Amino acid sequence: MILLEHVPLLLIAIPLLTAFATPVLGKVNSFLRNFWIITALISTELMGIWLGHDVLKNGIRVYTLGAKLPGLTSPVGFPIRIILEVDAMNAFIAMIVISIALISFIYCMRFMEWSRNLDKFYTLLLLLLTGMMGLTLTGDFFNMFVFFEIVSISSAGLIAFYVHRGEALEAAFKYMVISSIGALMVLFAVGLLYAQYNLLNMAAIADSIQNSFVDKVVVALLLSAFLLKAGSVPVHMWKPDVYGEAPVPVVVLLITSSLVSLFILFRITFTVFGLIIDTALLGWILAVLGILSIFLGVTMALIQSNLKRLIGYSAIAEIGYVLLGLGSGLIGFPSLSEFGVKAISGGIFHIMNDALDLSLLFLVVGTIIHITGKRDMNQLGGLARHQPSLALLFLIGMSAISGLPPFNGFASKLMIYESVYRFNPFLTIVGVLGSIVMLAIFVKVFVVTFLGIPRRKDIKEVPESMLAMMGILALFIIVIGLFPNLFVDNLITPACQALIHPEKYVEAVL
Amino acid sequence: MLNNLPFIVVVILMALGLYALLFKRNLIKIVMGIHVLGSGVDLFLIELGYRTGGIAPIFTMAPRLEMVLPTPQALTLTSIVINLAVVALMLSFIILIYQHYGSIDSKKRRLKG
């Protein structure tokens, strides 16, 4: 198949080209523009699923721009080329990214229709998607830096979309300062790696790496840069501000981008440096950071009354669960016990569930803000009487995020708890407590917002397309919750195997 | 000692950038700090590829094969462009923040680097 060969590149190229076609088409007609964006995204989605299917069946797919064979350009050593490498893990993350992006774009069509700057808005949103796809699929370090910056710049522009609000500008400035420091750390680390090995390709570096002191510095730099972007504990301060101020569809994509940077973090720690660094130490660091994130996220969420900030803090806690699972798996790497594998697959599973649960909650809150114009939950009340479907969707989202049994959050959290318990019972206890407190917080939010006497009369109707998108997310949450084994066996286990067998990743390129 | 001079400059630039980032309250100075930090990293990349007595890496009609490495230069070019975009974007945020609050002191508001 000639087209399938080019799918990894097309996944990045289609959003990029659509982004720059959007302002031109917007000049013609706004319907044409929306139609064009949705068509492009649906075709990207289909291609992503096709690629994922192919990778699961036929193994790792490498796409090279430039000379196909390493020997063609340089007689000695490994040449510098742009390589996209897709294994089961990349394909899995790519599918999540595109699906969430598609849902958030369709939601946007009605949510943002009042705005006059939609051309620019969609351009930036598509550039953000391009950056995330690039981060997911890239196989070399320098492109990783470039896509990292594309994500930072476009999302900073989007966070400041409500320019008439001073807080939005401040949040955007804060985000930009933090992510450009992160990006400079990445660039410096790339420079250090290039100085030692004359290589930029991840697989080739993983092959020739030695455990020098400089490598440790590189690991520390990359780790802090991607934790900055993911927003785990010591560097979480941008998250509630940004999530509180950005438009809701943007927040959904930002959540996805922080999960993508977590994925890059694990790609680096497992695949590139996994075999040489002190994984036990690194694993403990990540697991403890995860625990601290859970603790801080839920305690700070407890005292918020702004709905978006509240969910922003619970997003920090959710990042903590992923770090907890994958961090405790990393402790035993590379000689993994059964529990180690289970902890890692639980963490990967939780990446997907996080994206779904948090997106659903944010979209519901966005709808509440859309129909009432209020974002403080103390000014709301009795919404269930007007909008029973919205209340049901929120109920599904909150049960899933706090890990109640029939929903997806339960399936992945149980996997994490079971396996982490074998490493250290204390970690599990904090995790379970975090879940319980989170449930309490969301029950409070539900009661205050949806039950009681209606406070306001001027409530608008919910547009159907927005309701449909939230419905699709809720459907996924329930299906995954009811049949977790289906997803674990077919998607998560291959992704986990791809992550814990770096030698295959290396072999595919060399 | 003299060979290491560029690396010492890199360290000084990065230290200055970090100092401005951490201890300055003025938003424009924070942006300057980021730019100085970025320049430090750029200089580091350029210095990596330098070979004493090397010529520009163009193979056609090359008088000798002692060349500076082309890859770090390509990387630096990209990174300069990205830095420019970042700084321009942040300065435009500062203009809007100033219009909004009439102040660019980070201490008065709740934002901090």
What DSSP line would sit under A429-470, residue for residue?
HHHHHHHHHHHHHHHHHHHHHHSSS---S-PPPPPHHHHHHH
What SS3 class is residue A373?
Answer: coil
Q: Nearest by CB to B100, which of A152, A166, A187?
A: A166
Contacts of B41 in chain A (CB under 8 A): 184, 187-188, 191
Using CA coordinates, name the residue in chain B closest to A200: B71
Contacts of B37 in chain A (CB under 8 A): 181, 184
Q: At what angle do helices A166-197 and A141-159 cross, to 10 degrees?
A: 180
Structure tokens at B79: 């990174």
What is the predicted pLDDT for the residue at A153?
93
Domain tally, chain B: 1
What is the predicted pLDDT for the residue at B1?
62
For chain A, the domains span: 278-510
Give CA–CA dist A34/A490, Å, rounded.
34
Note the pLDDT tens digit of each residue in A329-340.
888 777 777 888
Give A63's strand partners. A84
Q: At what angle do helices A493-500 and A88-111 cross, to 10 degrees?
A: 130
Furthest C-alpha separation in chain A: 77
Structure tokens at B70: 């082309």
Confidence of residue A151 (pLDDT cuts 50, 70, 90): very high
Using CA coordinates, name the residue in chain B closest to A175: B113
Phi-psi region of A322 (alpha: psi -120 to 50; beta: other; left: phi over 0): alpha
Contacts of A166 in chain B (CB under 8 A): 97, 100-101
- Decide if A274 contacts A504 (C-beta within 8 A): no
B33 touching A (Cβ < 8 Å): no
Contact partners, residue A453, CB within 8 Å, separation at least 6: A381, A382
Rounded mean pLDDT, A37-54: 91
**Nearest Cα residue to A477 out of A11, A111, A44, A103:** A103
- SS3 letters for A146-159? HHHHHHHHHHHHHH
Contacts of B34 in chain A (CB under 8 A): 177, 180-181, 184
Please say whether the dihedral angle defined by the alpha carbons of residues A273, A278, A282 and A284, taken in this order, is positive or negative: positive
Give CA–CA dist A218/A216, Å, rounded.
5
- Asked if residue B106 belongs to a domain, the reply is no
Note the pLDDT tens digit of each residue in A413-428.
998 888 888 888 888 8
User: Which helix (H) or strand (E) segment is A83 a member of?
Assistant: strand A82-86
Distances (CA, A) of A464 to A85, A107, A247, A391, B72: 39, 10, 19, 15, 52
Q: Nearest by CB to B45, which of A156, A163, A191?
A: A191
**Between vectors from CA A475 to CA A473 and to CA A476, what angle results, nearest 5°?**
65
Whether residue B86 and residue A153 make contact (CB cut-off 8 A), yes or no, is yes
Note the pLDDT tens digit of each residue in B26-71.
889 999 999 999 999 999 988 887 777 777 777 777 677 777 777 8
Count the alpha carbons within 13 Å of A208 in the hemisphere toward its beta carbon. 14
- Asked if residue B43 belongs to a domain, the reply is yes
Confidence of residue B112 (pLDDT cuts 50, 70, 90): very low
Size of chain A, expressed as the number of residues it contains: 510
Give CA–CA dist B53/B62, Å, rounded.
14
Q: Cα-flanking dihedrals φ and ψ of residue A402, to 5°?
A: -95, 10
- Decide if A15 contacts A44 (C-beta within 8 A): yes
What SS3 class is residue B111?
Answer: coil
Confidence of residue B91 (pLDDT cuts 50, 70, 90): very high
Domain that holds residue B38: 5-101
Give B105's strand partners. B26
Q: What is the ipTM of this complex?
A: 0.91
- A198-212, A432-446, A471-485: lowest mean pLDDT where? A198-212
Share of chain B above pLDDT 90, in %: 36
- A41-45, A72-76, A358-362, B70-74: lowest mean pLDDT where? A72-76
Rounded mean pLDDT, A57-70: 77
Nearest CA of chain B to the CA of A142: how many Å? Answer: 8
Note the pLDDT tens digit of each residue in A102-147.
999 999 888 888 888 888 899 999 999 999 999 999 888 888 999 9
Q: Cα-flanking dihedrals φ and ψ of residue B66, to 5°?
A: -80, 100
What is the predicted pLDDT for the residue at A225?
92
The CATH number linked to B49 is 1.10.287
Give CA–CA dist A250/A105, Å, rounded.
9
- Asked if residue B23 belongs to a domain, the reply is yes
What is the predicted pLDDT for the residue at B113?
41
Confidence of residue A75 (pLDDT cuts 50, 70, 90): low
